[in-house]
Amino acid sequence: MASAPISALADRAAACADRLRDAESVLLLSHIDADGLTSAAIAASALERAEIAFEAGFEKQLDAAALDRAAETDHETVLFTDFGSGQLDQIAPHEAAGDFTPIIADHHQPADAETAYHLNPLLVGIDGASELSGAGTTYVLARALEPAGSDVDNRDLAALAVVGAVGDMQSGTDGLTGANESIVTEGVEAGVITVSTDLTLYGKQTRPLPKLLEYASEARIPGISNDQHGSVEFLSGLDIPLKSDGEWRRWVDLSDDERRTVVNALLRRAVASGVPADRIDDLVGTTYQLTREEHGTELRDVSEFSTLLNATARYERADVGLGVCLGDREDGLMEARQLLRNHRRNLSEGLQWVTSEGVTIEDNVQWFDAGTRIRETIVGIVAGMAVGANGVRHDLPIIAFAEKSPDEIKVSARGSGFLVGRGLDLSVVMREAARAVGGDGGGHTIAAGATIPSGTQRSFVDEAGRIVNEQLSKRS
Ligand code: C5P
Ligand code: C5P
Ligand code: ZN
């Protein structure tokens, strides 16, 4: 099915914007990841430019307690970004009781209920998992909030919308597609984004060249990936200066010709060492840079920017990430960089733990229980990174557990485009399996999560496996 254009959201966005303009006071609530942070920053900028007063806050999870907290504030309007749709059934009673008017800008699978102001790509035929993120949806709202007859132009916020989409893994080798691509176009027109075809490895702005290659574990090129000595040797064999003033050069320091030299040599090496063709194709692809950010910083590269944001929000420092999104290039950025070092270490230790302990393979799913070894806020990222590593299969959804509190377990699940094409919907799997054991969950077809009571992991895996089997056998 061809997907709908981004303009399909215009009417709903206009209704939400009108309601916000009438609001006496707004509480802006958002999710704690890169997409949630950029959503909050886009909403905050647009509200401020429209001269609508608001207060901003974050929640790890929009559950009954979080909604009660929102109801207890004296804000009569609550703008939810990057969450809310999955909790419509819990939000609707608050609307009915007059606790607050909810306005939702989200891209998650909606729960079975309705509210008056709901902006979600899935309601108009745009895929919320791959074509529009929470930040993109909020960007549509931001455009609708531009005051008529003023010179406010919110297209500069497209930069943050693209960071959110990339943070939610919506960009493939061919870059962003569908509604996301329209946002890129607006960002290019506004002069805040450039699009290029380049090496896809993470760290082009900030990593010294040998580290760029060595740490690119996703590329898995024998003798280069995870091989410090091999990376240096490979680069030394190319006819380009590797250091400048005694310091390693970075990808951004190379000329176009030098970049081509490295890419060609890398491709030749990958082919010669038998790296599968699809992984070779993934080495070069569409990348996005933010033109207003300083060259050689994490913020210039959209993918590095989104990781920097995850490093703040997933460690209870959403305030720091929001500050950076809103322009803090001093103390906030320094603090975010410190958090990034910590986040990287945690990801690498988490991944190492999963690959050494291994996963349990069942008929329809594979799973691991990290207990307190991996922080619950990053266990989903680790699960996604583990797929394809030693013993972790590509053809089964992966379910990861981590302890949230002594009596609660966080669950994260990740699938693949292939499985989704065959009927997998992890948002349903997580919601139904969690409800079966006294918890709740939701998310996207390809990535979803849940919270369940401690001790119910085994029954949860059985239930999830049963639902996955049902989904996959319906289509085949
Ligand atoms: O709550 P939110 O929608 O912002 O989070 C999306 C999550 O789903 C992210 O953690 C992202 O990494 C994950 N995801 C994924 N693969 C995809 C799409 C999303 O792992 N193809
Ligand atoms: O937390 P995790 O990264 O595994 O989340 C994957 C996706 O599932 C995210 O989009 C998140 O918002 C969603 N999710 C949800 N309900 C939960 C947990 C996660 O909708 N209880
Ligand atoms: Zn999102």
The pLDDT tens digits of the residues spanning 134-151 come to: 999 999 999 999 999 999
- Asked whether the predicted pLDDT for residue 59 surpasses 90, the reply is yes
- Nearest ligand to residue 33 Cα: 1
The Cα 82–Cα 46 span in angstroms is 16
pLDDT score of 476: 55
Q: What does the pLDDT average to over 441-455? A: 95
Average pLDDT score over the chain: 95
pLDDT score of 328: 97
Output the CATH code of domain 6-169.
3.90.1640.30
**251-265 burial, b for 16+ CB within 10 Å, e for fewer?**
bbbbeeebbeebeeb
Sign of the CA dihedral with 87 first, then 88, 92, and 93 last: negative
- Asked whether the predicted pLDDT for residue 219 surpasses 80, the reply is no
pLDDT score of 216: 81
State whether the beta carbon of 424 lies less than 6 angstroms from ligand 1: no
pTM score above 0.85: yes
* Location of structure tokens 């102001």: 117
State whether the beta carbon of 446 lies less than 6 angstroms from ligand 1: yes
- Asked whether the predicted pLDDT for residue 475 surpasses 70, the reply is no
State whether the beta carbon of 60 lies less than 6 angstroms from ligand 2: no
Q: How far is the CA of 16 from the centre of ligand 3 (A)?
A: 19
- Of 108, 127, 168, 394, the residue with max ligand 1 atoms within 8 A of its CB, to mutate for a pocket test, comes to 168
Q: How confident is the model at residue 254 (pLDDT cuts 50, 70, 90)?
A: very high
pLDDT digits (tens, 9 = 90+) for 102-135: 999 999 999 999 999 999 999 999 999 999 999 9
pLDDT digits (tens, 9 = 90+) for 305-338: 999 999 999 999 999 999 999 999 999 999 999 9
Q: How confident is the model at residue 78 (pLDDT cuts 50, 70, 90)?
A: very high
The residue extents of the domains of the chain are: 6-169, 198-347, 358-475
Q: What does the pLDDT average to over 425-442? A: 97
State whether the beta carbon of 108 lies less than 6 angstroms from ligand 2: yes
Residues whose CB falls within 8 Å of the CB of residue 2, separated by 6 or more in sequence, listed in order: none
**Closest-lying ligand 1 atom to the alpha carbon of residue 384:** 20
Q: Are 117 and 103 in contact (CB under 8 A)?
A: yes
State whether the beta carbon of 106 lies less than 6 angstroms from ligand 1: no
Q: How far is the CA of 450 from the centre of ligand 2 (A)?
A: 7
Q: How confident is the model at residue 464 (pLDDT cuts 50, 70, 90)?
A: very high
CATH topology of domain 358-475: Diaminopimelate Epimerase; Chain A, domain 1 (3.10.310)
State whether the beta carbon of 376 lies less than 6 angstroms from ligand 1: no
